[in-house]
Amino acid sequence: MRNPLMAAAMTAAAVITLLPVGTASAANPPVPDKVTCTGGSLTLKFEFGLTDRTREPDVSGSGDVGPCTSADQPEVTGGTITVSGRVRGQCWSFGGDKLSMSIAWNNGSYSHFGRTKIDSDGSGYTLQGFPGQFSHESLEAKGRITEDGAKYGEECFSDSGLLSTTASISELTFSDS
């Protein structure tokens, strides 16, 4: 035999459980309009090593940027970068626009670039993020490869090739306009 009070209490508990908790403020903060960063690093790892012959390895990478400034969101002081895709080239010159890149800003917002282009001459690089169909975001970064030149050369001419490279980020400019 069911107790009507118990059934009513269980129904009320189920309704309360299904009510939404929180507000729109719990969502990710808006992406900043413009961010300028003057430091950081990026490490790229190649599926198979770059050598003195042209190859097309998949690449993945991660790094950080900072210190950063943003006039419209002063709490944005840095971020974490992830990169994935494919490059074409050799140790001394590689690039491609078959990369995607994301930045997780330290305020909780995210920027994603479905098409990112990288160009490297073996000592420095430029990185450009292009907007998606419904986005106005753009990104440009410049930096220097930080490995010792002799070690870099040894790896390029080894059997396995250059499997990873780390670069400084001297300047990164992001814009959402």
The residue ranges of every structural domain in the chain are 29-175
Q: Does the global pTM surpass 0.75?
A: yes
Whether 29 has a pLDDT exceeding 90, the answer reads no
What's the confidence (pLDDT) of residue 10?
Answer: 40
pLDDT band at 56 (very low <50, low <70, confident <90, very high): very high
pLDDT of residue 9: 39
What is the rounded average pLDDT for all residues in the chain?
A: 81
pLDDT winner (highest mean) among 55-69, 85-99, 135-149: 55-69
d(C-alpha 48, C-alpha 162), whole Å: 8
pLDDT of residue 133: 59
pLDDT at 149 over 70: yes
Q: Quote the CA–CA distance of 164 and 168 in Å, as a whole number.
A: 14
* Spatial separation of the C-alpha atoms in residues 95 and 86, rounded to whole Å: 9
Q: Rounded to an integer, what distance in angstroms lies between the CA atom of residue 111 and that of residue 108?
A: 10
- Interval 34-54: pLDDT, tens: 999 999 999 999 999 999 899
